[in-house]
């Protein structure tokens, strides 16, 4: 009986070897777990013996155990490799964001989750915020800021222990808030694992891994994410230490710079003192002072008007008498007898040495002296210009030669063609002092404009009168409008300007300037009556009303401006357009009645009116123009020699 038993044992061993062969092949090619069911199913389908099927089942069980062990070892090898790479990144820390991003990426990859993210606590705001995300698609989720103790992350932060949920919205262990739930819902998350980031005994943030489907996280996965969290905390701690070290080194370097610069600052102060003294002696200007200080302080320095400087810092500098820092700039008020004249501004120089600050303050004092001197000279020149204009307007018995000499010393030419402009500030003042101050500002702005335009200006009749030369091709109305805009901008208010007709030969005719000023005043009054404050105009801009405003009643000029193209056309071509216009208006602007009046065909009337439209513009029949055209036609007939 022994021999048959040995044979049976040999057969059983052979069957076991045969049963293991297909599973060894599956292990060798790394097949999926489902593929290990195929040999057993195939044997049953082929009707193999029960012993054969049992052997295959045992071999399948052993093969799956081997496969699971191999997968576990590969996973642990990958995890250890990822942890080693992360630790290597941490050892060569250069960019904290890059290290944290790598940690989150590797955690997501090894845990095979849809998303991984990391939050950090913000002690200043008392909340926590999203620092790094990987796999996120919802903008609101990526920008979440959470209150302490809220959500799953709040539970992790409070307990300093990992927490996991299979279904976030059904988990009542932590506090749900609308903000967090909305962000999680936008991202579509269901299963979430969170582990704390510890800095000593304190939680500084949370590292998360999450899926958009229900999932149970194994203990090994929780431990792996905890290892990544420890590395992330170490990276943050290292970054803080590195920042503190760099800050300390920068402080030491700054202290050394201060020691080195202290002696050079004293030398710079002496240098700028000498330069400013030289500028004052040789009659330099405020911009020369700014350039000198800029060169010494090695920065951009400029003088600005008070209105252009920041009001708060400027008033502080004025009250304290010192330069004041404003963001990256320094502002030193330029004052004289309590009056604010402007400011010296040092641009882009936040770390100003006290000695250099004093240098800027001294430069502001020198600037105020120069401005006072310039103001005195300007006031004297304005008075001289005003006196000359007053003499032109009022003094009838005068010597033309002396007037020309006085004007030449002021760089004015009285033999050129001029326009007399009457200007008035139309803003309402709260009291008499403010009104007087507004008039002074207007006179100052007008005087400056006259000086730059080789003209004259004087205060008169509660406003200002200007005498400005008229450039070739320019019109009195255009000059009035430009002057109104210029003065309005200068005084920050509405300035209305009326202009006279061009006046040649002011010196030759004793009454020319006074007559022109009266005409400008009438135009000014007309603008104000028409509600056109802040505008400028001459008599020619008022159409037929200009005949009433103009001093010389320029009838021929009005006719020429209004119907001149038609009159000229008739004279050149021998046509009857002017007569046709007369008849057309006399017949109530009816072409049918006009053709009867002229004894021509209606088409002839239409052709003539088309010609008039081409000569005078398509809007010649609008009510305002039609009125002026009829008046011009009447004046043209009255001015024609009798018999024509």
**Assigned CATH for 93-245:** 3.30.450.40
Instruction: Report the pLDDT value the prediction gives residue 163, as an integer from 0 to 100.
Output: 92
pLDDT band per the 50, 70, 90 thresholds, residue 320: confident
Residues 393-409: tens digit of each pLDDT: 776 656 778 877 777 78
38: Cβ contacts below 8 Å, ≥ 6 apart: 22
| Residue 122, token pair as written in the block | 């913000």
pLDDT band per the 50, 70, 90 thresholds, residue 584: confident
Q: Is the pLDDT of residue 503 over 70?
A: yes
Q: What is the rounded average pLDDT of the residues 223-245?
A: 79
Instruction: Report the pLDDT value the prediction gives residue 210, as an integer from 0 to 100.
Output: 94
Instruction: Report the pLDDT value the prediction gives residue 190, as an integer from 0 to 100.
Output: 93
Residue 192 class from Cβ within 10 Å (0-12 exposed, 13-18 middle, 19+ buried)?
buried
Higher pLDDT, 359 or 553: 359
Q: What is the rounded average pLDDT of the residues 29-44?
A: 78
Q: What is the rounded average pLDDT of the residues 287-308?
A: 80
pLDDT band per the 50, 70, 90 thresholds, residue 370: confident
528: Cβ contacts below 8 Å, ≥ 6 apart: 424, 426, 496
| Tokens 């011009």 -> residue | 632
Alpha-carbon span 499 to 338, nearest angstrom: 39
pLDDT band per the 50, 70, 90 thresholds, residue 589: confident
Alpha-carbon span 379 to 400, nearest angstrom: 25
474: Cβ contacts below 8 Å, ≥ 6 apart: none
pLDDT band per the 50, 70, 90 thresholds, residue 1: very low
For 282-286, 314-318, 549-553, 554-558, which range has the lowest pLDDT when averaged over its residues?
549-553
H or E segment at 181?
A: helix 178-187
3-state SS, 521-535, equals HHHHHHHHHCCCCCC
Instruction: Report the pLDDT value the prediction gives residue 638, as an integer from 0 to 100.
Output: 54
What average pLDDT does the chain have?
79
Instruction: Report the pLDDT value the prediction gives residue 125, as an integer from 0 to 100.
Output: 84
Percent of the chain, pLDDT > 70?
81
Q: Is the pLDDT of residue 381 over 60?
A: no
Alpha-carbon span 506 to 499, nearest angstrom: 15
Same fold, 93-245 and 283-377: yes
Q: Is the pLDDT of residue 88 over 60?
A: no
| Residue 170, token pair as written in the block | 């059904």
Using alpha carbons only, give the angle 253, 258, 264 rounded to the nearest 5 degrees: 130
**Assigned CATH for 555-639:** 1.10.10.2840
DSSP letters for 184-202: HHHHT--EEEEEEEEETTE
Instruction: Report the pLDDT value the prediction gives residue 187, as an integer from 0 to 100.
Output: 93
Instruction: Report the pLDDT value the prediction gives residue 403, as an integer from 0 to 100.
Output: 77
Q: Is the pLDDT of residue 116 over 90?
A: yes
Selection from 143-147, 178-182, 361-365, 379-383 with the highest mean pLDDT? 178-182
Q: What is the rounded average pLDDT of the residues 38-65?
A: 79
Q: What is the rounded average pLDDT of the residues 436-441?
A: 81
**Assigned CATH for 395-549:** 3.30.70
Residues 516-533: tens digit of each pLDDT: 888 888 778 777 766 788
Strand partners, 31: none
DSSP letters for 265-285: HHHHHHHHHHHHHHHHHTT--
CATH of 283-377, one of 3.40.190.90, 3.30.450.40, 3.40.630.10, 3.40.50.970: 3.30.450.40
**Domains of the chain, residue spans:** 11-92, 93-245, 283-377, 395-549, 555-639
Range 481-485, long-range pairs (CB < 8 A, 24+ positions): 481/535, 481/536, 481/537, 482/536, 483/421, 483/423, 483/449, 483/536, 484/423, 484/534, 484/535, 484/536, 485/536
Q: What is the rounded average pLDDT of the residues 602-613?
A: 88
Instruction: Report the pLDDT value the prediction gives residue 73, as an integer from 0 to 100.
Output: 63
In Å, what is the CA distance from 33 to each residue of 19, 26, 43, 57, 66?
17, 9, 18, 14, 11
Instruction: Report the pLDDT value the prediction gives residue 213, as an integer from 0 to 100.
Output: 92
Instruction: Report the pLDDT value the prediction gives residue 211, as an integer from 0 to 100.
Output: 94
Instruction: Report the pLDDT value the prediction gives residue 633, as an integer from 0 to 100.
Output: 79
For 95-109, 134-148, 204-218, 271-285, which range has the lowest pLDDT when averaged over its residues?
271-285
DSSP letters for 228-277: HHHHHHHHHHHHHHHHHHHHHHHHHHHHHHHHHHHHHHHHHHHHHHHHHH
Instruction: Report the pLDDT value the prediction gives residue 192, as an integer from 0 to 100.
Output: 94
CB atoms under 10 Å from CB of 377, counted, come to 10
In Å, what is the CA distance from 220 to each residue of 226, 484, 598?
10, 84, 113
CB atoms under 10 Å from CB of 44, counted, come to 12
Alpha-carbon span 396 to 507, nearest angstrom: 10
| Residue 165, token pair as written in the block | 């949920």
pLDDT band per the 50, 70, 90 thresholds, residue 386: low
Q: Is the pLDDT of residue 7 over 70?
A: no
Q: What is the rounded average pLDDT of the residues 131-157?
A: 88
Instruction: Report the pLDDT value the prediction gives residue 640, as an integer from 0 to 100.
Output: 58
Instruction: Report the pLDDT value the prediction gives residue 186, as an integer from 0 to 100.
Output: 93
């Amino acid at each position: 009986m022994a021999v048959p038993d040995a044979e049976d044992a040999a057969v059983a061993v052979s069957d076991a070897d045969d049963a293991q062969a297909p599973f060894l092949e599956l292990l060798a090619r790394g097949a999926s777990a489902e593929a290990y069911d195929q040999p057993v199913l195939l044997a049953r389908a082929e009707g193999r013996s029960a012993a054969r099927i049992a052997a295959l089942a045992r071999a399948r069980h052993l093969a799956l155990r081997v496969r699971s062990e191999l997968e576990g070892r590969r996973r642990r090898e990958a995890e250890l490799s990822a942890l080693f790479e992360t630790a290597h990144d941490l050892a060569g820390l250069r960019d904290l964001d890059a290290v944290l991003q790598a940690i989150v990426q590797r955690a997501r990859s090894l845990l095979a989750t849809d998303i991984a993210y990391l939050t950090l606590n913000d002690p200043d705001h008392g909340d926590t915020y999203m620092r790094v995300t990987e796999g996120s698609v919802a903008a609101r989720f990526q920008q979440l800021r959470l209150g302490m103790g809220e959500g799953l992350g709040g539970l992790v932060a409070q307990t300093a222990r990992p927490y996991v949920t299979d279904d976030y919205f059904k988990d009542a262990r932590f506090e749900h808030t609308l903000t967090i739930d909305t962000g999680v819902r936008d991202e579509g998350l269901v299963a979430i694992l969170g582990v704390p980031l510890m800095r000593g005994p304190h939680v500084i943030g949370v590292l998360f891994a999450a899926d958009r489907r229900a999932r149970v996280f194994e203990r090994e996965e929780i431990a792996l994410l905890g290892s990544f969290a420890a590395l992330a905390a170490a990276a943050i701690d290292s970054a803080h230490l590195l920042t503190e070290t760099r800050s300390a080194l920068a402080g030491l370097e700054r202290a050394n710079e201060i020691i080195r610069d202290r002696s050079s600052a004293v030398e710079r102060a002496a240098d700028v003192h000498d330069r400013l003294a030289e500028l004052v002696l040789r009659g330099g200007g405020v911009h020369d002072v700014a350039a000198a200080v800029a060169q010494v302080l090695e920065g951009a320095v400029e003088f600005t008007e008070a209105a252009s400087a920041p009001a708060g810092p400027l008033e502080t500098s004025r009250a304290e008498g010192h330069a004041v820092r404003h963001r990256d700039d320094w502002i030193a008020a330029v004052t004289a007898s309590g009056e604010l004249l402007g400011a010296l501004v040092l641009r882009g120089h936040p770390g100003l040495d006290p000695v250099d600050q004093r240098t800027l303050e001294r430069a502001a004092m020198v600037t105020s002296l120069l401005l006072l001197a310039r103001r005195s000279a300007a006031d004297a020149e304005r008075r001289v210009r005003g006196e000359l204009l007053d003499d032109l307007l009022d003094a009838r018995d005068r010597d033309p030669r002396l007037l020309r000499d006085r004007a030449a010393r002021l760089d004015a030419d009285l033999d050129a063609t001029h326009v007399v402009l009457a200007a008035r500030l139309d803003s309402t003042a709260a009291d008499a002092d403010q009104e007087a101050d507004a008039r002074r500002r207007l006179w100052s702005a007008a005087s400056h404009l006259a000086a730059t335009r080789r003209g004259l200006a004087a205060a008169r009749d509660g406003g200002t009168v200007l005498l400005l030369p008229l450039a070739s091709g320019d019109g009195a109305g255009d000059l009035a409008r430009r002057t109104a805009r210029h003065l309005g901008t200068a005084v920050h208010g509405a300035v209305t300007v009326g202009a006279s007709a061009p006046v040649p030969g002011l010196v030759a005719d004793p009454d020319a300037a006074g007559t022109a000023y009266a005409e400008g005043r009438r135009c000014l009054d007309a603008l104000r009556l028409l509600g056109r404050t802040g505008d400028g105009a001459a008599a020619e801009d008022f159409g037929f009303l200009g005949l009433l405003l103009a001093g010389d009643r320029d009838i021929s000029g009005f006719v020429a401006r209004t119907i001149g193209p038609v009159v000229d056309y008739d004279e050149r071509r021998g046509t009857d357009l002017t007569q046709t216009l007369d008849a057309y208006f006399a017949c109530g602007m009816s072409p049918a009645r006009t053709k009867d009046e002229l004894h021509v065909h209606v088409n002839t009337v239409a052709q003539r009116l088309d010609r008039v439209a081409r000569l005078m513009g398509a809007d010649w029949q609008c009510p305002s123009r039609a009125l002026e055209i009829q008046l011009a036609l009447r004046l043209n007939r009255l001015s024609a020699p009798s018999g024509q």
